[in-house]
Structure 1
Amino acid sequence: MTTPTHVVSAGVDLFADAVAAQAVDVTRVDWRPPLPGTEADLAAVVGDPRRHAANERAVAAMLGVTARLVDVAPASEVLGLQRGQFLHAGPPITWDRASGPMRGALMGGAALEGLVTDPEDAVALFESGSGVELEPCHHRRTVGPMAGVVTPSMWMFVLEDTTTGARTHCSLNEGLGKVLRYGAYGPDVLTRLGWMRDVLGPLLQSAVRSVRDSTGPVDVTGILTQMLQMGDEAHNRNRAGTLMMLRDLAPAMVASGRDSTDVAEALRFIGSNDHFFLNLAMPACKLALDAARDIDGSTMVVAMARNGTDFGIQVSGTGNEWFTGPAQVADGLYLGDFGPEDANPDIGDSAITETAGIGGFAMATAPAIVRLVGGSVPDALATTRRMHEITLEENPRWTVPVLEFQGVPTGIDVTLVCRTGILPQINTGMAGAKAGVGQVGAGLVNPPLEIFPKALTRLAERARVARVD
């Protein structure tokens, strides 16, 4: 009998370990049976004659979007937010279920808007519900990092698809540490937000409009293409993207005629905040994914979002319905003396980057990210390869040099997640569980398993109805 020179092992590692112990090369295939209880729904959805063409349409629509920065303006103007209205990250939630960082951000937002003098006084305001309304950012074509709280006076980036004129929005990035989006609301947080409202926002508006009207809007999708070649993955590493954005806007900021001290402080603030471009990457991804919404028969995920309590997804073929489960605590690295007991479950709309195929899906293009979120460089490479198993396509614009410029995995397919049991990989910041603490670390996290079978069930129901009709 001839000893094999190479063995492929699928499933459990016992056999593979035994073969490897005999000095035979082994390729391990991460195979597992479909998620329990999904067999009938999988059969209905996979057998839906609309599915293949619908997914092709969804992917083509997503890849056809080019996001450009066309304006910066207050949320009251571009989103129609009124006094007492607050947007937040993730699926819908009420104050009584809100996590610590979500509550902290809402409390700080209420003080910023003058609804209360002391953020602590906002607790009674939100408990009563009198004069305040909470709504997900996604419901107004907006995304917000971490707590994602948006109030009427906050300035927003406005991105537009040049072909369709569709728009999406995101607030300006405050930086890391003790900031509102991580649930901090101290005097320094409010002072910074006041400066962003009174100085940074108007200055950026002037620069963005000047560039737009002279040489054309800043091409955010193009910057994303370049930064992925330069070691960023556009979720927790945005250094190259931030500097390229600053390159495009700095001359117009200097030539704006505004006070030179204000311009210098703005340039210093953006230049020292590596995450500043995140708030452009997120609405660029949402703009692309929104183009793929509402396609009957499509099984493609168009949003993943967390509010610190629930993790929710939306799917192209099921409209605006949210499929939710409990948000998970990330596994990662902690700042200072913080540990797992200090971390809140996952929070934020920033998983829109992974939904579009970057962030955690593109970790292979940014191996240095492991120094922030944990893991190893081989883990980063393996993650990107693994995400190809649950996605519909590769993005030819966004490529990974170390993988021979293979396109990033794009278009999460509910059926593939349920068939393989492989969950999307997200890299994320971690907020403190208590209101007011701020950032405590960064790490890796997955969605709760049960939300994908929930979405599959709804897709199956629609497939069966369509077949009868």
Structure 2
Amino acid sequence: MSDPLGGLLAAPPSIVAAGVEVFSTALRQQGVSVTDVDWRPPGFGSPEDLAQLALDPRRAAANRAAVERVLAAGSVLVDVRPAREVLDLPDRTLLHSGPPLTWEKASGPMRGALMGAAIFEGWATDPDDAERVLAAGEITLDPCHHHRTVGPMAGVTSPSMWMWCLEDPASGGQAWCNLNEGLGKVLRMGAFNEEVQTRLAWMRDVLGPVLQQAVRSRPEPLDVKAILAQMLQMGDEGHNRNRAGSLMALRELSPSVVAVDAPSSDIAEVLRFIGGNEHFYLNLGMPTAKLAMDAARGVPGSTLVTVMARNGTEFGIQTAGTGDRWFTGPANTPVGLFLGDYGPEDANPDIGDSAIMETYGVGGFSMAAAPAIVRFVGGSVPDALATTERMYQLTLTENPAMQIPIMGFRGSPTGIDVLKVARTGWLPQINTGMAGRVAGTGQVGAGLVQPPQQCFEQALAALAEESRAAG
């Protein structure tokens, strides 16, 4: 009888490894012969645009200046206030994640979150009424990023929601984010039922006021950036895994919370809510990253990416050298693990401002710091290590404040470079949650996703055009 494998197993395997060295190094340590091949995806962009940016005499100094601002930025928690006070929102305005969006183009989870917020604010009486007023244009929609604000998933922020207020001691910059609702059926995932409305009302009437008193009574502002740095050394990556960060935030805030002049039942419920919310820190980490990336805005000649954000329909990026201009493409659907009986057909395309974490160099860029994350988003531990190795090749520097233990305490890969992305053909890696595509569903899973290449193609062309104009 002939060998069905054609003698494949008759001799030791011959292994050819492509990409980062972590795989071939591990095999060699086990005495396996490995041949390395320097392969990578094809690059993109016109040769003229690539040459224009590569030879721009401003680029090195501009990127150095932008990176220095990012690394120097700090983040301290100074207050908790309602959105109507800090954002100066026009009447009947809702903020949302990602680039600009209209109701007609909004996805299911975005529509669900907008409808839920309209009901929460009393601008609509029920879901049908909310859909009517939104479709009629009676409520203005504007991106969170246009207001120095970030919001996870749908990111919908309304005037009555309480906001974390953070400042950068280095530049004086400010950034804001609403409070995290927890997991499951929540507004940010597009749910809007009675359970969601009851929680939002409690957060408005109890959680926000208690946190405001607690934060204001602290002897000194909470150093949120320091917590993020510690998280990476405790198994978190700062986007989809925030367990250590949330516990550290609870430890820092709880002495002030218990001293708040409020009913003991309210204090107990606030502590239970924070302690049971593994993503409590995320809404502090996101404005921390926003502060750092905003510090790099407006540097002519810089090819550094300052924003990556998604609204459930489109993915958008901004760069230091092109200011507030958006470069967009269709949002991809994450690939990962699903909750319960949900599957790929239930997932909405990528959504949320939380990709600001990867823009800053944590989250998917620092997966090596949190190998346990693969149990939540899929993949394997070697995948997590290889992803971080690959992200170093897309970035301009390493952040010494954000050290990754398993990488020999190397700083996280920071400062996505449009030119490097175009040259390598590799796209940034993002860890993300998945919202159900049907409004009202809530979370269906978590996974991994990349931006559409079109965003970087557009940014590359715009940066080259700006370079030519600068002469």
Provide the TM-score with structure 1 as the length reference: 0.94
Please give the per-residue CA displacement for 1:348-395, whole angstroms capped at 9, x wherever unaligned. 000000000000000000000000000000000000000001000000
After superposition, residues 309-458 of structure 1 pair within 5 angstroms as 309-458=313-462
Runs of 4+ in 1 over 2 A off after TM superposition: 6-11, 27-34
After superposition, residues 37-76 of structure 1 pair within 5 angstroms as 37-76=45-84
Structure 2 vs 1, CA of residues 389 and 8 (structure 1 numbering), >3 Å: closer, same or farther?
Answer: farther
Aligned with residue 179 of structure 2, among 172, 181, 202: 172
Aligned with residue 158 of structure 2, among 143, 151, 156: 151
Structure 1 spans left out of the alignment, 5+ residues: 1-5
Partner SS, residue 437 of structure 2 = coil
Match of 1:3 in 2: none
2:171–2:295 Cα contact (<8 Å) kept: no
Output the amino acid matched with 2:432: T
Deviating more after overlay: 117-126 vs 97-106? 117-126
Match of 2:88 in 1: 80
Taking the aligned partners of 1:395 and 1:455, their CA distance within structure 2 comes to 24
Output the amino acid matched with 2:370: A
2:297 matched to 1:290?
A: no
2:394–2:417 Cα contact (<8 Å) kept: yes
Taking the aligned partners of 1:105 and 1:154, their CA distance within structure 2 comes to 13
Output the amino acid matched with 2:34: D
1:38–1:453 Cα contact (<8 Å) kept: no
Aligned with residue 34 of structure 2, among 25, 28, 32: 25
2:271 matched to 1:267?
A: yes
Match of 1:230 in 2: 234
Taking the aligned partners of 1:33 and 1:360, their CA distance within structure 2 comes to 22
Output the amino acid matched with 1:406: R
Partner SS, residue 363 of structure 1 = helix
Aligned with residue 218 of structure 1, among 201, 219, 222: 222
Taking the aligned partners of 2:38 and 2:410, their CA distance within structure 1 comes to 20
Aligned with residue 34 of structure 1, among 34, 43, 53: 43
Match of 2:118 in 1: 110
1:119 deviates by: 2.5
1:121 deviates by: 1.3
Match of 2:99 in 1: 91
1:33 deviates by: 3.8
Output the amino acid matched with 1:137: C
2:460 matched to 1:460?
A: no
Taking the aligned partners of 1:233 and 1:120, their CA distance within structure 2 comes to 40
Percent sequence identity is 62
2:283 matched to 1:276?
A: no
Please give the per-residue CA displacement for 1:66-103, whole angstroms capped at 9, x wherever unaligned. 10000000000000124310000000000000000000
Partner SS, residue 427 of structure 2 = coil
Partner SS, residue 321 of structure 2 = helix
1:413 deviates by: 0.2
Structure 2 vs 1, CA of residues 443 and 8 (structure 1 numbering), >3 Å: closer, same or farther?
Answer: closer
Taking the aligned partners of 1:29 and 1:133, their CA distance within structure 2 comes to 51
Partner SS, residue 413 of structure 2 = strand
1:449 deviates by: 1.0
2:153–2:351 Cα contact (<8 Å) kept: yes
Taking the aligned partners of 2:286 and 2:387, their CA distance within structure 1 comes to 21
Partner SS, residue 318 of structure 1 = coil
Taking the aligned partners of 2:103 and 2:68, their CA distance within structure 1 comes to 39
Q: CA RMSD in A?
A: 1.7
Structure 2 vs 1, CA of residues 9 and 444 (structure 1 numbering), >3 Å: closer, same or farther?
Answer: closer
Taking the aligned partners of 2:403 and 2:37, their CA distance within structure 1 comes to 25
Match of 1:127 in 2: 135
2:163–2:176 Cα contact (<8 Å) kept: yes
Taking the aligned partners of 2:275 and 2:39, their CA distance within structure 1 comes to 42
Provide the TM-score with structure 2 as the length reference: 0.93
1:305 deviates by: 0.1
Partner SS, residue 453 of structure 2 = coil
1:7 deviates by: 10
Taking the aligned partners of 1:90 and 1:69, their CA distance within structure 2 comes to 24
Partner SS, residue 286 of structure 2 = helix
Output the amino acid matched with 1:31: R
1:173–1:275 Cα contact (<8 Å) kept: yes
Please give the per-residue CA displacement for 1:140-162, whole angstroms capped at 9, x wherever unaligned. 00000000000000000000011
1:342–1:433 Cα contact (<8 Å) kept: yes
Taking the aligned partners of 2:313 and 2:387, their CA distance within structure 1 comes to 26
Match of 1:209 in 2: 216
Taking the aligned partners of 1:7 and 1:179, their CA distance within structure 2 comes to 47
1:164 deviates by: 2.3
Taking the aligned partners of 1:446 and 1:59, their CA distance within structure 2 comes to 23
After superposition, residues 183-202 of structure 1 pair within 5 angstroms as 183-202=190-209
1:40 deviates by: 1.1
Taking the aligned partners of 1:8 and 1:269, their CA distance within structure 2 comes to 51
2:365–2:412 Cα contact (<8 Å) kept: yes
Please give the per-residue CA displacement for 1:91-146, whole angstroms capped at 9, x wherever unaligned. 0000000000000000000000000111331111011112x100000000000000
1:374–1:444 Cα contact (<8 Å) kept: yes
2:314–2:331 Cα contact (<8 Å) kept: yes
